[in-house]
Amino acid sequence: MRKIIFTVLGILLIVVSIFLAGYIIDSKKTFKPKSEKVVKTVFTEVVENGTVPIVVSANGNLTAKQRVELFAEVQGVFKKGSKLFKEGQTFRRGETIINIDADEYAASVQSAKSNLFNQLTAVMPDLRLDYPDIYPKWQEYLANFDMSKSTPALPQMGSEKEKFFISGRGILTSYYNVKNLEQRLAKYRITAPFSGVLTETLVTEGTLVRSGQKLGEFINPEVYELEVAISKRYTDLLKVGESVELTNLDDNSTYKGKVTRINGSIDQLTQTVNAYIEVEDGNLREGMYLEADLDAKKEENAIEVDRGLLLEGNKIFVVRDSVLDVIDVEPVYFSDKRVVLKKVPDGVTIVSKPISGAYTGMSVKIYGEQPENTKG
């Protein structure tokens, strides 16, 4: 009897467990809500083709247009001048920058001039007797001969007899020897070829300067040049005299310059051509890093858009009846962030900002009211 009771209870327990499990399973069923179609909002603009200026960007460091490297052509002690030979020191045109002690050499020049004067004096009696017609001009030359000044040019010799006579007395040789010495004497004093400033000094007063030694650098701080490398495909677009806007990336200050020279050869390694931009401004300094925007040309019947809008295969998205579509375009110029396009029909509504996950046939909603038509 006990076995029968346990058997019935077991069967009942199994049945109750089955029903309870079914109830629990049914109670955990969730109903998925019907997904709604998401329509993205896009920014657009209506195309109106126009004239797009193509601006080629380049960069480089400023260098002084007028620059002189100072070298010694003679040997001697660097004498102290009216101004210190230090970096940042300014000199006016013609002012002495470097003065090397030339007392010993100057004495040899005076000796050579004295020898020339003696030779001229010695031939005067013969000139007076044999060539009385040319005697006056040589007498005048001798009278104006000043040992403390540069040797004047010899009188013009009008006949072969006069040339033979003067040359035969060794006067021509002595004269050109003196002029050669005077030219070398002038090298002991280096003057400023233009008004400017010292940017490098390698010697100090009292130093023994040797021939061929570099002494420093001197520049004109008013006019600078910027050398920029331009891709060869844009070289035929550049012209001498084109205006250029230069930007200092540190403080966004801008300067106006112009293209003054374009190199006639292409760098074989970089396939670029160097263009030189002249700029004048009191705030500029040599070595300053600037970015140049060169107006290369103007592209007619074109538009300019964000570079991210151009799709693979030279296509862009357009909106037709709230649905995305693509059209073929012709890109004519790329910059870092923008691209110039042609063959985009007027009046077409194009996407003006990139859309993530966009595809042809995608339903979209145009953001707000359409802005004013934008020229390319």
Query: How many Cβ atoms sit within 10 Å of the Cβ of residue 318?
Result: 18
- Please list the alpha-helical segments (H only) found in 134-272: 135-143, 160-168, 171-186
Q: Is the pLDDT confidence value at 31 over 80?
A: no
C-beta of residue 273 within 8 angstroms of C-beta of residue 232: yes
Is the per-residue pLDDT at 1 higher than 70? no
Backbone angles phi, psi at 277, to 5 degrees: -115, 125
**Residue by residue, what is the 3-state secondary structure of 63-91?**
EECCEEEEECCCCEEEECCCCCCCCCCEE
Per-residue pLDDT tens over the stretch 353-368: 888 888 888 888 888 7
* Element housing 293 (H / E): strand 289-306
pLDDT at 8 over 70: no
Per the CB < 8 A criterion, the answer to whether 287 and 64 are in contact is no
Summary mean pLDDT of the chain: 85
pLDDT over threshold 70, residue 25:
no
Residue 374: per-residue pLDDT:
45
User: 330-347 b/e with 16+ CB inside 10 Å = b?
Assistant: ebebeeeebbbbbebeee
Task: Give the C-alpha separation, 232 to 270, whole Å.
Answer: 9
Q: Which domains, ranges and CATH numbers included, belong to the chain? A: 42-52+300-375 (2.40.420.20), 56-63+221-298 (2.40.30.170), 66-101+188-219 (2.40.50.100), 104-186 (no CATH)
Per residue in 112-159, pLDDT tens? Answer: 999 999 999 998 988 888 888 888 999 998 888 888 888 999 998 888
Q: What is the pLDDT of residues 79-106, one digit of tens each?
A: 988 899 999 999 999 999 999 999 989 9
Which pLDDT does position 10 carry in this prediction?
A: 67
Mean pLDDT of 304-310: 88
Does residue 265 surpass a pLDDT of 50? yes
| Percent of residues, the chain, with pLDDT higher than 70 | 89
Confidence of residue 369 (pLDDT cuts 50, 70, 90): very low
170: left (phi over 0), alpha (psi -120 to 50) or beta: left
Structure tokens at 321: 């009846």
Q: Give tens-digit pLDDT for 272-295.
A: 888 899 999 888 889 899 988 877
pLDDT band at 17 (very low <50, low <70, confident <90, very high): confident
Of the candidate ranges 100-104, 114-118, 200-204, 331-335, the one whose mean pLDDT is the lowest: 331-335
Residue pLDDT, tens place only, 311-328:
888 889 998 888 889 899
Average pLDDT over every residue of 233-243: 76
Q: Which residue has the higher pLDDT, 315 or 242?
A: 315
pLDDT value of position 375: 46
pLDDT band for position 201 (cuts 50, 70, 90): very high
Least confident of 13-17, 66-70, 272-276: 13-17
**Mean pLDDT of the region 252-264:** 88
DSSP 108-135: HHHHHHHHHHHHHHHHHHHHHHH-TTTH
